[in-house]
Amino acid sequence: MTTSSQSKSNFNTRVKDLQNQLPDLLISEDVDDLKNYGRDWTRFIEPKPCAVVFPRSTEEVQSLVRWAKDKQQALVPSGGRTGLSGGAVAADGELVVSLDKMRNIISFNADDRLLHVQAGVTTAAVHAAAVEQGLFYPVDFASSGSSQIGGNVATNAGGIRVLRYGLTREQVRGLTVVTGTGERLDLNQGLIKNATGYDLRHLMIGSEGTLGIITEVTLALVSPPPPLGVMLLGLTGIGDIMPVFNACRHAGRLTAFEFFTQACVEQVCAAHGLKAPLDEVCDCYVLLEFEQATEADEAQMLAAFEQVLEAGYVIDGVLSQSDSQAEELWRYREWISESISHRTPYKNDVSVRIAQVTEFLQSLDQLVTEHYPEFEVLWYGHIGDGNLHMNVLRPEAMSVHDFHSHSERLTDVVYGEVARYKGSISAEHGVGILKKDWLHHSRSDAERALFMHIKQVFDPSGIMNPGKVI
Ligand code: 2HG
Ligand code: ZN
């Protein structure tokens, strides 16, 4: 990292100018920083930012944005960079604005149960801060250790407990944002009720840095859940998922209902040396988590299990007997994405209405197999909220580049089917660069035209994450 007191000789002219204008701003042109901060978890786009800056306050972000607006310098806001749609990729000389130095927990108010944090605080640090107050922050996913709350808000992150608590949007009670004009907006300021016109907070949530940079977030914390039980069930086929889901959600309060196929289990077991989760090898599996406040809660869920077993939907199953066993069961689901990352998969993150999700999955799987029998396809996801992750594995012998141009041909098949079901081409991973050209499958011409107008209002110079989303 280079600070104002260190040599600036290698700075390009524009970066030199920035340093002169804002002498206290931390700026890096270090080759490793350019590479790391210029990319997210999509590993096939070459990062090429001009520099990385590390502001420490909302005021510093404002000064930076005003400078960028004057100079017509594109900015890419950057959190934990765990995204999968290229939303935080800087591949065209942009200036990366990292929130890494904005990691303060600003305050907690016990009456409001509100946690006010800077945007660079990790999701895991928010979890820990909530626990310290005897409370709970419910949004959770495998990348919680590195993902940052600002990025979660900018992408309206989902994860494993959407079924019970909703997406990030549901937890955001206030936001501080610096728009593309350098203006500071303090949106909603912790209120529950606020019927005063357009709620700009919700416009910022999911905007992927295209309207402004989120610098502070106020989050609503909730009461901690009672002890949670985890059940992993092996099913005869995808068509049996919905009756199992319905039986289980009648039996108790579900906090997660996840799904994966045998092919996913094989990948996780191979990558981590785990043994198979059940004695029987099954076509697919569901992992459900439920609130187990009393013994009756467990008995009811076990009765539902007996019922679906007798009906022939379920072949085998296991119920966690301890927190550590619950954690072990979660691994078969949570470790899938990371276990297959070396195969640089072609990914899709799609959703349809819950009622249609299994029919949609079967029809899509059949289409993909018909068109591209040579591809190895893994299905998993948050089936309890209609969200499926499709991962096509790169054949080991094929280069990343060849595979991605090859598998891109699948996109129209997949999104055509999503459109037929009136679903979404991105359920929880955002649009970024990767899904942008297919947005018309999920958003009408009128909607996309309004997107453009909105962008123009908040970012008239077009410097905020250009080339993303729209
Ligand atoms: C998950 O649910 C994540 O595991 C990642 O959203 C999904 O890598 C993926 O396709
Ligand atoms: Zn997911």
Q: What CATH number has the domain bearing residue 13?
A: 3.30.43.10
Sheet holding 51-54, edge to edge: 26-28, 51-54, 95-98, 75-78
**Shared domain check, 275 and 216:** no
Share of the chain above pLDDT 90, in %: 91
| Nearest ligand 1 atom, CA 428 | 6
Query: Residue 8 above 80 pLDDT?
Result: no
Residues 9 and 56 in one domain: yes
pLDDT above 90: residue 404: no
**22-36 b/e with 16+ CB inside 10 Å = b?**
beebbbbbeeebbee
Query: Which is more confidently placed, 226 or 396?
Result: 226
Q: What is the mean pLDDT of residues 421-449?
A: 97
Q: How many whole angstroms separate alpha carbon 374 and alpha carbon 368?
A: 10
Residue with CA closest to ligand 1 atom 5: 337
Residues 49, 75: Cα–Cα separation, whole Å? 9
Residue 127 lies in a domain: yes
Among 290, 306, 337, the domain boundary falls at 337
Ligand 1 centroid – CA 332 distance (Å): 13
- Residue 5: the pLDDT is 42
4 has pLDDT over 70: no
CA 157 to ligand 2 center in whole angstroms: 9
- Domain with residue 237: its CATH number is 3.30.70.2190
* Residue 160 Cα: closest atom of ligand 1: 2
117 and 208 inside one domain: yes
Q: Which two tokens stand for residue 371?
A: 């068109």
Asked whether residue 470 is domain-assigned, the answer is no
Q: Which residue out of 43, 348, 380 has the highest number of ligand 1 atoms within 8 Å of its CB and is therefore the one to mutate?
A: 380
Residue 2: what pLDDT?
A: 45
CA of 435 to the centre of ligand 1 (A): 16
- Whether residue 109 lies inside any domain: the answer is yes
Among 46, 72, 101, which residue terminates a domain? 101
Range name among 38-52, 64-78, 265-279 with the lowest pLDDT average: 38-52
pLDDT confidence tier of residue 11, bands split at 50, 70 and 90: low
Higher pLDDT, 467 or 373: 467
Min mean pLDDT across 385-394, 395-404, 424-433 is at 395-404
**Given ligand 1 and candidates 40, 264, 389, 407, which is best to mutate, with the most ligand atoms within 8 Å of its CB?**
389
Quick one: what percent of the chain has pLDDT higher than 70? Answer: 98
What ligand 1 atom has the least distance to the C-alpha of 142? 4
Residue nearest to atom 3 of ligand 1 (CA): 337
pLDDT of residue 128: 98
Residue 187's domain comprises: 105-220
Residue 282 domain-assigned? yes
pLDDT of 12 reads 82
Q: What does DSSP say about strands 254-261 and 75-78: parallel, antiparallel, or unpaired?
A: unpaired
Q: How far is the CA of 333 from the centre of ligand 1 (A)?
A: 9
Say whether both 200 and 109 belong to one domain.
yes
371 confidence band (pLDDT: 50, 70, 90): confident
For residue 170, the CA-to-ligand 2 centroid distance in Å is 17
From 167, 337, 390, give the residue whose CB has the most ligand 1 atoms within 8 Å, as the site to mutate.
Answer: 337
Whose alpha carbon is nearest atom 10 of ligand 1? 389
Q: Are residues 364 and 422 in the same domain?
A: yes
Of 137, 126, 128, residue with least CA distance to 216:
126
- Domain membership of residue 269 (yes or no) is yes
Q: Looking up tokens 């104002």, which residue turns up?
A: 4
- Identify whether 443 is part of a domain: no
Ligand 1 mean position, distance from CA 337 (Å): 5
Ligand 1 pocket: which of 40, 84, 140, 424 to mutate (most atoms <8 Å of CB)? 84
Domain edge (last residue) among 220, 253, 269:
220
Mean pLDDT of the chain: 95
Looking at the structure, tell me whether residues 138 and 213 fall in a common domain.
Answer: yes
**Count of structural domains within the chain:** 4
Q: How far is the CA of 218 from the centre of ligand 2 (A)?
A: 24
345 and 324 share one domain: no
Span 76-91, mean pLDDT? Answer: 97
Q: Which of 43, 152, 155, 336 has most ligand 1 atoms within 8 Å of CB, for mutation?
A: 336
CA of 143 to the centre of ligand 1 (A): 9
Instruction: Name the closest-CA residue to atom 9, ligand 1.
Output: 337
Are 309 and 281 in a shared domain? yes
pLDDT at 298 over 90: yes
Q: Taking residues 86-110, what's their average pLDDT?
A: 98
Same-domain pairing of 85 and 115: no
- Looking at the CA of residue 382, tell me the nearest atom of ligand 1: 2
Q: How confident is the model at residue 408 (pLDDT cuts 50, 70, 90)?
A: confident
The verdict on 60 and 166 lying in the same domain is: no
Distance CA 263, CA 91 (A): 34
**Ligand 1 atom nearest 337 alpha carbon:** 8
- Please state the pTM of the whole predicted model: 0.94
- With 80 as the cut, is the pLDDT of residue 73 above it? yes
Distance from the alpha carbon of residue 159 to the mean position of ligand 1, in angstroms = 8
In a domain? residue 155: yes
Task: Read off the pLDDT of each residue in 153-162 and give the average, rounded to a whole number.
Answer: 96
- Are 130 and 207 contained in the same domain? yes
Hey, whose CA ends up nearest to atom 2 of ligand 1?
381
354 and 313 part of one domain: no
Atom of ligand 1 nearest to the CA of 340: 8
244-257 per-position pLDDT tens digit? 999 999 999 999 99
Pocket lined around ligand 1, Cβ cut-off 6 Å: 84, 142, 336-337, 347, 349, 389, 391
Residue 261 Cα to ligand 2 middle (Å): 15
Distance 383 CA to ligand 2 centre (A): 10
What CATH number is attached to the domain comprising 368?
A: 3.30.70.2740
